[in-house]
Amino acid sequence: MATTQQFGDGLTLIHQLNITNVLGDYHNVSNVATTAVDSERFSETLGPLLPFVACGALHDSSERGPDAPKCHPETRTAVQRDILSWIQHCEQDLIPKRILWISGPAGTGKTALVGTIADEYYKRGLLAASFFFSASSGAVNRRSKKFLIPTLVYSLLQHQAIIGFKREVLAAIERDPVVFQKHLDQQIDTLILNPLRKVERLSDRRNWPDVVIIDGLDECQGEGESSRDSAQKEILCALSRACADPAFPFCIIVASRPEPGIVHFFTSLPGLIHDIFLDDKYDPDSDIRRFLEATFSDIRRRFKLLLSWPPEGIIDSLVKEASGQFIYVVTCMKFLETPPGPPQVQLEQLLQWRRLDSLSPFAPLDVLYARILQTSPDPHLAVKWLLFVDRHSLFHDDPGYIQQLLESYHGETEHVLGCLRSLVGQADGQGKPCFHFYHKSFLDFLRDRQWNTARYVKVEDSILFQRNRYYQILRGKGFATSTSHAGPPTPPNAFSSRFCHSLPDFVDPHQEYLPEDVEWWLSNLGATRGTDIPWMFASIHEKCNWYRCLPACAVWRKCILRYCSEHRWRLPTSHERLRDRVKKINSSPPDGWASGPLRPR
């Protein structure tokens, strides 16, 4: 049966009802399909919204991939029951607790748990929206607060049951195109709450989705003047404000480590938050055992091993050492399947490490990370490479560029990192270079002297290594490889342009430069030369004394000023040059370079 409703704003609703008779006296009436036809706005697209959507943060994004963490079948069943029960019944409390905070130490499986819930509710059509933060992702938009609300809005727009919502959101963006640059409270008002108020009577809210999921809040980082804690607090304030508004019908799951700022926020709202801490209450040892038994069985089948493998007692030992950390056993299993040896040999290596480290004062996960690092032919260089990869995560769109920066000879990546594939992915599904860390705890390990005692790299040593790589490429005019290697052909303009754009951030003022080095850099700058040249002009001078410039600064600035004079730029006055000796030009001016002393006319 079909019914039609007309509204004055040009919106037509067509309801298709399905009436089913069951056992004679019971009638089930379900709204099978509701179609909204808006003739005036039908052709409108999501164009203004899309640049602010973090596609990789969606629960089913290609960036997270099919191997995104999920609970192994028949594990975490108790805590999943608790979460599903809360979603279904949280509104029935006298004072509804509409935010669920899932927390626990690193490696306890928070992301796998909420990923599983997200998948389950997506299949049911009840997942309103999701955002998976990731500090180890190459995409900056998965670490930034500014992409959160637009991404949630994008997901909400996919639900046809929320009739008229898309029309209202697009109209709001048209009225206020800079809304994406505003405070999160304002964004959530303009893009979610106000549109929901306007459309709440156009459809049955019982057919709307139920839950919004936000994972890894502790991995959200600050931007500019905004600190990490203040960014996370701003997000929590906006979410709690939304949940307090009658127009917002969804409950929210937030998963994070118990960081001090997040703990303080949630403890300041007693009675309004439901929390689940992943500890021994949920018997993680039994779930870890199930995971190990299933994974060992799968390895036996794939590698045609005897049913007696692994030896008796191995699973018991791994469960005990994991201490509730799923990441420990997941890393162990990845290591068993990582070349060069077959699983039996890799397991024997693992057992040998355990015997050697039986008296270690550090957690088993840290010991495991340290031991796997040792399998690299040059562990110290491997750590420098990994820190380099993390520093260059902005270039996630071109991982091959990072590999070109790192390699001093063809195939060096395989030599240095080939044994570390259980910790760091090095290729995508098509076999192309693609660096990604499997778990943030490994990056934490690399940066902490207490944990990574043997292979710890000081911050200043890491910076020096990165600057040396850039220096070698600059002196080689784009070639990072040694002269003894035939190497690739001349690097394409794309590599040279990207390299030259990044150089001001990594230039070493203590090295020796020739005028032809500067001239090559100037000739290979791309469309951003209007900012790159002033940036380099300021960066190369940062380490100079007020009374004397370093030789490198003299070479760079002389060539830059000659180039800018030839191209009719606005040059620094003598007064500005004199002032620059005492109060140096800011290499990262908050207002950009448009009004700087050196700029295009």
Residue 388, domain member (yes or no): yes
Residue 128, domain member (yes or no): yes
Residue 338, domain member (yes or no): yes
Least-confidence region, from 20-24, 242-246, 530-534, 574-578:
20-24
Residue 504, domain member (yes or no): no
Residue 63 corresponds to which tokens in the numbers above?
């960036």
* One domain, residues 31 and 54: no
pLDDT higher than threshold 70 for residue 238: yes
Position of tokens 């995560």?
Answer: 393
Domain with residue 208: its CATH number is 3.40.50.300
Least-confidence region, from 465-469, 507-511, 570-574, 591-595:
591-595
Distances (CA, A) of 472 to 404, 480, 481, 494, 517: 12, 6, 9, 18, 11
* One domain, residues 293 and 406: no
pLDDT higher than threshold 80 for residue 455: no
Nearest alpha-carbon partner for 326 in 72, 67, 68, 57: 72
* One domain, residues 557 and 422: no
Residue 290, domain member (yes or no): yes
* One domain, residues 62 and 182: yes
Mean pLDDT across 551-576: 95
* One domain, residues 233 and 210: yes
Using DSSP, state whether 95 is helix, strand or coil. Answer: coil
* One domain, residues 93 and 210: yes
Query: Quick one: what percent of the chain has pLDDT higher than 90?
Result: 57
Give the CA angle between residues 245, 249, 250 to the nearest 5°.
Answer: 110
* Long-range CB pairs of 468-477, under 8 A, 24+ apart, other chains included: 468/508, 469/388, 469/405, 469/406, 469/506, 470/405, 470/499, 470/502, 470/503, 470/506, 470/507, 470/508, 471/508, 471/511, 472/408, 473/405, 473/499, 474/503, 474/513, 474/517, 474/520, 474/521, 475/517, 477/520
* One domain, residues 109 and 125: yes
More confident residue, 196 or 371: 196
452 pLDDT tier (thresholds 50, 70, 90): low
More confident residue, 518 or 2: 518
Residue 273 corresponds to which tokens in the numbers above?
């938050």
* One domain, residues 518 and 456: no
Q: Across the chain, which distance is largest between two alpha carbons, in Å?
A: 98
Residue 222, domain member (yes or no): yes
Position of tokens 């259980």?
Answer: 422
Last residue of a domain, one of 356, 384, 406: 356
Residue 540 corresponds to which tokens in the numbers above?
């190369």
Q: How many residues does the chain have?
A: 601
Per residue in 248-291, pLDDT (tens digit) is 999 999 999 988 899 999 988 877 899 999 988 899 999 999 99
Last residue of a domain, one of 231, 252, 281: 281
What does the pLDDT read at residue 19? 34
Residue 196, domain member (yes or no): yes
Q: Residue 554 in contact with residue 543, Cβ under 8 Å?
A: no
Per residue in 586-599, pLDDT (tens digit) is 877 766 777 889 99
pLDDT higher than threshold 80 for residue 355: no
Query: Quick one: what percent of the chain has pLDDT higher than 70?
Result: 86
What does the pLDDT read at residue 17? 41
**What's the whole-number average pLDDT of the chain?**
85
What does the pLDDT read at residue 210? 95
Contacts of 362 (CB under 8 A, 6+ apart): 370, 451
Last residue of a domain, one of 356, 383, 398: 356
Per residue in 301-350, pLDDT (tens digit) is 999 999 999 999 999 999 988 888 898 999 999 999 888 889 999 999 88
**Strand partners for 2:** 16
Give the pTM: 0.70
Mean pLDDT across 35-48: 53
450 is in which domain, residue-wise?
375-491
pLDDT higher than threshold 80 for residue 97: yes
Q: Residue 441 in contact with residue 107, Cβ under 8 Å?
A: yes
d(CA 262, CA 217): 9
* One domain, residues 161 and 291: no
pLDDT higher than threshold 60 for residue 214: yes
pLDDT higher than threshold 90 for residue 465: yes
Per residue in 161-192, pLDDT (tens digit) is 999 999 999 999 999 999 999 999 999 999 99
224 pLDDT tier (thresholds 50, 70, 90): low
Domains held by the chain: number: 5
Residue 181 corresponds to which tokens in the numbers above?
């640059």
* One domain, residues 537 and 483: no
Residue 166, domain member (yes or no): yes
356 pLDDT tier (thresholds 50, 70, 90): low
Least-confidence region, from 65-69, 96-100, 318-322:
65-69
* One domain, residues 276 and 160: yes
* One domain, residues 329 and 385: no
